[in-house]
Amino acid sequence: MLLVLSVEHRAHLGCLPRAGDAAVGELGRLALEQLRRGAAPRACESAARKLNISVDIIQHGVEGLVYLLTESSKLMISEADFQDSINVLGFSDELNKSLLQLYLDNRKEIRSILGELAPRLPSYHSLEWRLDVQLASRSLRQQIKPAVTMKLHLNENEDRTAQVLQTDPATLLHLIQQLEQALGEMKMNHCRRIVRNMK
């Protein structure tokens, strides 16, 4: 699986050859620090003075590296796919080797950082349901009006919450069909590859 880089990210990574091979290590360190602790403008300014390069080149290079490393780590692309992804940038072999080594050395740490940043979504615990049918009212002597009431229990940050939902059977059947279709699509090879790469 190749990583497709947008024009903007190619332009940001295009700053790397201008920075020089020696600066790539420093830019890689800054990119990893940005992932760990967030943006650090002072560190970029310090690196720009040390390397005698403009601050803009440093910032663009760091942004490009952050994108390249996070997207590659998210997809867990192989060494060969990473090389193919950066070959389109037209960098020297030396620079390509430096980028590959930076990726291989840090992809596990980057994945763990991205995992910590992911939102904690509620998870399913249990479901209670009830079927109510209204057979008549004052104005209508004969009517059948079914309603399904569900109480969905969720685990959320070690707390248990509940959501009460009510719908008619036709809407519930449509929802079931949509969920079954989504589960069927998960069995397709394309989806299996995506799920495998997400783990």
The model scores a pTM over 0.95: no
Residue type, 104: L
The 8-class DSSP code of residue 52 comes to T
CB atoms within 10 A of CB 14: 16
Q: Which of 50, 67, 52, 51 is nearest to 14 (CA)?
A: 67
CA distance 62 to 16: 9
Would the pLDDT of 56 be above 80? yes
pLDDT in tens, 76-120: 888 888 888 888 888 888 888 888 888 889 888 888 888 887 777
pLDDT in tens, 128-176: 999 998 888 777 777 788 999 999 999 987 789 999 999 999 999 999 9
Can you give the residue ranges of every domain in the chain?
7-117, 123-198
